[in-house]
Amino acid sequence: MDLLPPKNSTSYFKGNLHGHSTHSDGALRPNEVVNEYKKLGYDFTCLSEHLWRGEKFANELVLNTTNLNEDNFIVIPSAELHCKGKKYIKNELWHIVANGLPVDFKCANDQERAPELIKRALDAGAFVTIAHPEWYTLTFDECMSVSHAHGVEIYNHSCHIEAARGFGTATVDFLLQENKKIFLTATDDSHFRMPDAGGGWVMVASDNLNEQSILDSLKMGKYYSSTGVEIFKFEINNNLVKVISSPAEHITLVGKGSKSLSVNGNNITEAIFDLSILDTNWFRVSIIDKYGGFAWSNPVWL
């Protein structure tokens, strides 16, 4: 059974789910951001501008990106939602990425908290993820309160190069250990004040390059996340998980508790794992190449 749609049966589109322009606190105008991502070989991007009130870094309106769409490149209306109540951050502001928002989606007020804000974004049809949990030290209690989001950023490139706090592995695995069925994303969080574009992306399996088709695939987990490694095949047959990727040094399968299996060496392009030797009801796969590039599958529930 294919855990990712085969590349000979569908198209894969490269996209950034988290980025900013001058509509909030980015350095480039929206059309300039689009041009940068087109030059990087992307098929879509999301201008997830800070949605909040009374701050120079934010805007009270979701950016309408309709005029930026082209036949071979689309921009999905998005926002980085903020509300009060987050521990360990200035102004107590949560950071929540919502892709595919209606442009009339309203800012949170001072009373709305993260669980309610996420539900409101989900009800509006968005694909919702928890941004950069390591960067602002998401606590385990906070993890649980927002576990109804679609996913968590396993990697945030801007946070990685600016603060060396760009990963979300601990948050992801804590939620999985608690039997929360979440997805993973790798993003840029690009602002273009430093070279923070093209560092983390998703490869989305979709028959069409349009907003609804991309969002549908994201919500079904029909994608993988990457900082440089490609996944060509991901399948399971009779408890055997097979992964084929671009050349790597480590291909690792992790599951419940501290369970893991790995294949290690030089220029590995294939790994087969026997799930019958692991006591786990879920697993996910990480791949690392010799340049430090990663790829992550979404978790699979057995």
Residue 56's pLDDT is 95
Residue 270's pLDDT is 98
**Mean pLDDT, 10 residues at a time, the chain of 302 residues:** 95 98 98 98 98 96 97 98 97 98 98 98 98 98 98 98 98 98 98 98 98 98 98 97 98 97 98 96 98 98 96
Residue 29's pLDDT is 98
Q: Do domains 11-226 and 231-301 have the same CATH topology?
A: no
CA–CA gap between residue 160 and residue 135 (Å, rounded): 8
Contacts of residue 273, defined as CB under 8 A and 6 or more positions apart, other chains included, come to 240, 241, 243, 253, 261, 263
Residue 104's pLDDT is 98
Question: 231-301 in CATH: which number?
Answer: 2.60.40.10
Instruction: Parse the chain into domains and list their residue ranges.
Output: 11-226, 231-301
Residue 34's pLDDT is 98
Q: Which CATH superfamily is domain 11-226 in?
A: Metal-dependent hydrolases (3.20.20.140)
Residue 300's pLDDT is 98
